[in-house]
Chain A
Amino acid sequence: MRHILRRIIFYLVALWASITLNFFIPRLAPGNPAQALLGRFERQGAISPSALKALQTAFGIDTHDPLWVQYFGYLHNLLSGNLGLSFTYYPMGVVDVISQDIRWSLVLGSVSVLISFSLGCLIGIFMAWRRGSLFDATISPLMTFISAIPYFWLALIILYVFGFRLGWFPFSDGYDTTLNIGWTPEFITSAIYHAILPALTLVISSIAGWMLVMRNSMITTLSEDYILMAQAKGLSSRRIMFAYAARNAILPNVTGFALAIGFVVSGQLLTEIVFSYPGIGFSLLQAVQGQDYPLLQGIFLVIAIAVMGANFLADMLYVVLDPRVRVDREAA
């Protein structure tokens, strides 16, 4: 229990740190870029006084309030769910932009993570089982190479080959833009069709990690005495492989899986950009190019919260799955 409490306090501190970092970055930046943003907002005209005030609180411009007053104003805005206005998507609020995008990112990301996790674990199991075989010997270096590829480049190549050269898949967007968004069969098939290439990129770029961890953990497990015992008993190799070895070796990957859920959003930012997929990554690009600081910081905050939540989940999962952690950490 003490361990869990410690973790909860830690994640609260981490959350506070990321919020505070978010507060100070614009105030420390040279040349006052936020002031320029405000100027652009005003030139665009028609910005309500309350929205202007909110922007001023968020970035600390045109204000003579001491820093701590600004800080509490910022916290107040944050707690009431107000992340300010987006410049690029004006007059939409940052919260609206993000909540619209995040659905696309979440669906694409979680499906890819699931596929990549199950496929990667399975291949890893076989690699360890047939260690030293041709299969293991060819896959390992191949995966080393793949894991070193910048994944936005992989996305470019896949888009070039399957989208441009072969013309099998569409270039951009998350669905056929002539259709209305809704739970119609046409829309769903078009959404799946558009998601295949981005998902393929995500699976290829992340599968190596699952495989290598699974392989290495499996190799360690295979040298345990109970495996030898199972073999001596004459159990079928399939049973030993899955029910004895893999079941124990999968632990590091399960916690890794919890972490991966948190990285669903941040891990696919660049892939979405290459495929012009309507997720968070695409908005991030817009925000970077348009120097849309409210949106940029809102996206960072959302990703930070997601990642921390997943880390917390992984921690808890580890405590549940591995009793040794409970004992060790209680003692420490």
Chain B
Amino acid sequence: MKESSLPQQSTEHKKSTPAGESGIVLNTGSGAVATYVSPTGLPLDAPPYLRFFGGLRNLWTRITFNRKVLLGTCIVGFFVLIAIIGPLFIRQDPNTLSTLSNAAPSLAHPLGTTTLGQDIFSQLIVGTRTSIFWGFLTGFLVTVVSVVVGLISGYSGGLIDEMLSLLTNVFLVLPALPLAIVLASYFPRGPLTIALVITFTSWAWGARVLRSQTLSMRNREFVAAARASGENWWRIIFFEIFPNEISIVAANFVSTTLYVILAEASLEFLGLGNATTVSWGSLFYWAQKDDALFLGLWWWFVPPGLCIALLGAGLALINNGIDEVADPRLRSEPMPKTSRKGKVAAA
């Protein structure tokens, strides 16, 4: 399947396409032949799953040219790895109490202990799993809502589009964090509440971007062809149009996840998380509550912030890199005079 997702092999799927030329060939009546290629470089009539993976693959090859994205991916990959295997090396429950209160870093406790004598290092590792898991899950949820609203709105047009656009624009001007705080304080404390509350307050950006993208795609020939062949609307939206937007959706997912991880930490810092769930945000909450600052226990509140900042920078690098791929003018390309320096700058 990997091979067949290459544009050159597209002739397998559409026999009428001249060899070496990818895309649908429409006979426009007057004998002139026009070629249409989807944004993924695959013919628009390729099966949806092929265009889906082709889109991801296309995104991947394009971004790995960019060193920013490569670096960002490495950072994010590192944290995901810790989230997956890290807790396996933590033998005890990170909430286990001990009599050793507010200890400084030592061999037994690399990051010291809390006021209640819990080992901060194991809390950090276990918290990485919680924060990454919920961060990516929430980012995914937000993206799903954006995709559904944006695509339906952009494809439908008319009254449905008017209503959904209005809803999107209203949510764009509602202050997200304060609304999330109000909502979270009414519902039972826990990561699920925070995830749902953030999803509810922050889907609008993605929906707007995807709506305008869909608008530009709904009148293309492949959509018209699908409509003419009697496909129902949700199949057109999610199996014909959506696979062609996958690179925008992926970029949107990255920036959303960055926002979500920051927002989750903020809500937990305010004490809106579940106090017994260990996460980066809850580490802040307890450090603030137990006056870690005024006791000089920097090893309590510095590490989780550093983790968030690093992970966030990784995601931001990926995002900036994708922006540069999309808008070549932003690349810090070598300028004629300082070509040597410029190459260093691109790193």
Contacts and interface: CB of A to CB of B under 8 A. Distances in A.
Contacts of A160: 293, 296, 298, 301
Nearest to A270: B266
A165 to B, nearest CB: 8
A311 B173 contact: yes
B68 to A, nearest CB: 8
Contact of B186 (A13, A29, A216): A29
Contacts of A137: 332, 341, 344-345
Contact of B313 (A11, A26, A133, A144): A144
A68 interface: no
Contacts of A303: 175, 178
A246 to B, nearest CB: 17
Nearest to A154: B305
Contacts of B335: 131-132
Contact of A296 (B185, B301, B310): B185
Contacts of A242: none
A266 interface: yes
A10 B181 CA distance: 25
Contacts of B179: 21, 300, 304
Interface string B25-42: 000000000000000000
A25 B308 contact: no
Given A132-B334, A152-B269, A284-B181, A304 B305 contact: no
A157 B174 contact: no
B185 A30 contact: no
Contact of B178 (A13, A150, A164, A266): A266
Contacts of A13: 166, 170
A132 to B, nearest CB: 4
B329 interface: yes
Contacts of B316: 144-145, 147-148
Nearest to A161: B298
B65 to A, nearest CB: 18
B169 interface: yes
Contact of B329 (A26, A220, A263, A266): A220
A150 B266 contact: yes
A320 B81 CA distance: 51
- Please classify how large the interface on chain A is, using the bins under 10, 10 to 19, 20 to 34, 35 or more: 35 or more
Interface string B145-169: 0000000000000000000001001
Given A140-B332, A270-B269, A156 B174 contact: no
B232 to A, nearest CB: 30
Interface string B321-347: 000000001101111001001101100
B99 to A, nearest CB: 26
- Of listed A153, A291, A293, A307, residue having the most chain B CB within 10 A: A153
B194 interface: no
Given A17-B170, A153-B305, A289 B271 contact: yes
Interface in B15-67: none
Nearest to A163: B293
Interface in A107-165: 131-134, 136-137, 140-141, 144-145, 147-150, 152-154, 156-157, 159-160, 164-165
Is the contact region of chain B dominated by helix, strand, or loop, or is it mixed? helix
A22 B313 CA distance: 35
A41 interface: no
B186 A153 contact: no
Contacts of B175: 263, 266, 300, 303-304, 307
A219 interface: yes
Contacts of B74: none
A242 B266 CA distance: 39
**Contact size class for B?**
35 or more
B94 interface: no
A269 B296 contact: no
B187 interface: yes
A300 B184 CA distance: 13
Contacts of A136: 332, 345
A140 B332 CA distance: 10
A157 B302 CA distance: 8
B275 to A, nearest CB: 12
A14 B174 contact: yes
Contacts of B296: 160, 164-165
Contacts of A150: 262, 265-266, 269, 305, 308-309, 312
B260 interface: no
A164 B294 contact: yes
Contacts of B342: 132
A288 B271 contact: yes
Nearest to A11: B173
Nearest to A305: B175
Contact of B305 (A30, A141, A157, A308): A157
A132 B166 contact: no
A304 B284 contact: no
A73 interface: no
Given A171-B294, A284-B181, A30 B309 contact: no
22 contacts: A13-B170, A14-B169, A29-B186, A30-B188, A131-B335, A134-B345, A137-B341, A145-B309, A148-B315, A150-B305, A152-B266, A156-B284, A160-B298, A164-B296, A165-B296, A216-B330, A270-B270, A287-B185, A289-B271, A296-B181, A296-B185, A308-B173
Pick the 7 closest A-B CB pairs, nearest first. A148-B312, A153-B305, A137-B345, A29-B186, A132-B342, A149-B309, A148-B313
Given A131-B335, A157-B302, A304-B175, 16 more contacts: A14-B170, A21-B174, A133-B338, A136-B345, A137-B344, A147-B312, A150-B269, A152-B266, A153-B301, A156-B301, A164-B293, A164-B294, A219-B330, A274-B288, A297-B182, A308-B173
Interface of A: 10-11, 13-14, 17-18, 21-22, 25-26, 29-31, 33, 131-134, 136-137, 140-141, 144-145, 147-150, 152-154, 156-157, 159-160, 164-165, 171, 216, 219-220, 223, 263, 266, 269-270, 273-274, 284-285, 287-289, 291, 293, 296-297, 299-300, 303-304, 307-308, 311
